[in-house]
A and B are shown apart, each in its own frame.
Chain A
């Protein structure tokens, strides 16, 4: 096919020695693979492995230190319950971080929408189901606002969401009059708002619906990211937006959908938080955005985008929960829990950087 009939075209003069050239490719790496290299490669191909290992190790460690009260079915289900809201927020955050963005407004959207749902259902007498729909739609709207500023006005995600965090926070203080909606009022006026607070017991474990919601959110997102074209596009954008653009992905439209979906998940977390907390407090989850980023980072999702599995964020959230619970049951002061989480973040990012330096 490559025109052997025309000798003048079968290569340049200086290339004529090529077919006699040494055909070996630099192979020294193969013999030189140390155990550390192999681990690095393994982790590069399976970025969720680190959080899984850390989760298992920390479960074992705290099981040994704190003993039976840590390893009881009740305590483990309690951890699941405690991390459920931050876990759902971390799912929303992961979507955005995979596109190489960051969202500082996730918790503000969540609390704002829980206030919207509460105001409508408890004070305005709107049917709970409708109030929830308005809140969920509001979450999509808030997410799309972030997405619009980022894709159309071309602002960096960090600054955009730093701004909208303040805006949403101010709105929620205004809507709530800085007052909590009491649990009793929700119970009498709109008990459906507390739907996700319901729980059932299975052999000593107490499973709340919010924990189940968290797992469902992660499974659905995992499917979307790994089994659909949309998911592949989300990764491609985080990997190299320009290349994604050139290879025919409508990147801005995809990014908008990511922010809209993330806003929806935040509003869903807002609904679940009413059941989890029992009341609607404008002051709650003030650090939720940072907690969600912590879970994502510990879960091995790269802050530079395009790498990591959404399931990592679930494990990241669980690791934080296990550390908090384990350290508390071991009688360690709260400040050391904060201290430990800080180190976890730094170690997680260091491992991510190390994995990214993998040689081909």
Chain B
């Protein structure tokens, strides 16, 4: 264990059972500062379960989770979000009929200053629209005509962009992305992968859940391979091939002896 910095997330011995099914079986998890950590695993291996336990969507039965060295116990994703942990869900969690600006701020709207905001609880729409426009511009996504246009008028890639921009704008600790390229075409996937690298360049670590090996190997700094409810190993994509990774996660090949991971 030769680590210089405290990991952003460190989870040890996480267990989650649903009746007779053990979704997480004494699993460990580690996310380091500034990295893109891909989480891969076969269907049913429990990769979503472990990530859900980290972001508060499920409460683990056993085990401890440390965020920046401090133990936490989230009971809902909202608590995790309040700590600066953002999640980009596979279904994006956007409200189609609301505008881009409204969507970026759902659940954390800005109110007007003074009595209008305090007593009439009036929203500061100009401020919200400006912030949304700035964030989208930063990520090179301001190809949309208007920040007020409803999300349902956007393409799949643009919607993904709005969801990523929302996460990047508010995340202070890290971002979890669940299959961000699964529903996208070739070109749009490329855009999302570039976005992931942009976000990492800002120093925000990312947990990337994906089935897409080429995408994983392209952007990940380390790969967490999940098998039968626990972490099998973490590998460096530079040292292994995609076939190795697939062999590990399906059990066709023994994992390498673990060092510091």
Q: Which residues of A contact B (CB under 8 A)?
A: 1-3, 9, 11-12, 15, 18, 21, 25, 223, 227-230, 232-233, 235-236, 239-240, 242-250, 306-307, 360
Contacts and interface: CB of A to CB of B under 8 A. Distances in A.
Interface string B144-162: 0000000011110000000
28 contacts: A1-B197, A2-B194, A2-B197, A2-B201, A11-B218, A12-B214, A15-B186, A18-B186, A223-B120, A227-B122, A227-B123, A230-B121, A232-B98, A232-B102, A242-B91, A242-B93, A243-B92, A245-B93, A246-B93, A247-B93, A247-B94, A247-B106, A248-B78, A248-B81, A248-B108, A249-B106, A306-B96, A360-B153
Interface in B208-223: 214, 218-219
Contacts of B155: 25, 360
A1 B106 contact: no
Given A3-B197, A232-B102, A248-B77, 18 more contacts: A9-B219, A18-B187, A228-B122, A228-B123, A232-B106, A233-B107, A235-B97, A236-B102, A239-B98, A242-B93, A243-B92, A243-B94, A246-B91, A246-B93, A249-B106, A249-B107, A250-B78, A306-B96
A301 to B, nearest CB: 12
Contacts of B107: 233, 247-249
A229 B95 contact: no
Contacts of A235: 95, 97-98
Given A9-B218, A360-B153, A236 B122 contact: no
Contacts, number: 94
B121 A229 contact: yes
For the complex of A and B, the 3 pairs showing the least CB-CB separation, nearest first, are: A248-B107, A246-B93, A229-B109
Contacts of A250: 78
Contact of A360 (B106, B108, B152): B152
A8 to B, nearest CB: 8
Interface of B: 77-78, 81, 87, 89, 91-98, 102-103, 106-109, 111, 120-123, 152-155, 186-187, 190, 194, 197-198, 201, 214, 218-219
Contact of B187 (A9, A21, A247): A21
A228 B93 CA distance: 20
A339 B58 CA distance: 54
Contacts of B111: 229
Given A246-B93, A247-B94, A248-B78, A1 B109 contact: no
Contacts of B103: 247
Q: Which of A9, A15, A247, A248 has the most CB of B within 10 A?
A: A247
Q: Which of A11, A227, A229, A245 has the most CB of B within 10 A?
A: A229
